[in-house]
Amino acid sequence: MPDIPQPAWQFQPHDYGDPWVKQTYIWGTAAKPMAMAQCAPERTRRTPNGHTQGRIAMMSSSWKREREKTPSGFARAFFEANP
């Protein structure tokens, strides 16, 4: 089985105006959008739905659905950087 290559870059939602933490890696050749509208992440808000990453929250299907969504600020910036 081939090795997975290193990601091209990574981002945090708070770099694009969404106040939570979720480090995401990007593979491929897409242009990295410039960070815009940076905001400080909320200390207790770890996901878009406000749940912390405790054991029970991680098992919740609603937590998983919220966690897998692309942050809107990043989506907008990515679209503008990759016409």
Tell me if 43 is assigned to some domain: yes
Q: How many domains does the chain have?
A: 1
Tell me if 2 is assigned to some domain: no
Q: What is the pLDDT of residues 20-61, one digit of tens each?
A: 788 899 999 999 998 876 677 665 545 555 555 554 455 567
Tell me if 76 is assigned to some domain: yes
Tell me if 65 is assigned to some domain: yes
Residues 6+ positions from 17 with CB-CB distance below 8 Å:
36, 37, 38, 39, 73
Q: How many CB atoms lie within 10 A of CB 21?
A: 15
What pLDDT is stored for residue 64 in this prediction? 73
User: Which domain, by its residues, includes 45?
Assistant: 9-81
Residues 6+ positions from 13 with CB-CB distance below 8 Å:
19, 20, 21, 22, 24, 41, 71, 73, 74
SS3 4: coil
pTM for this entry: 0.68
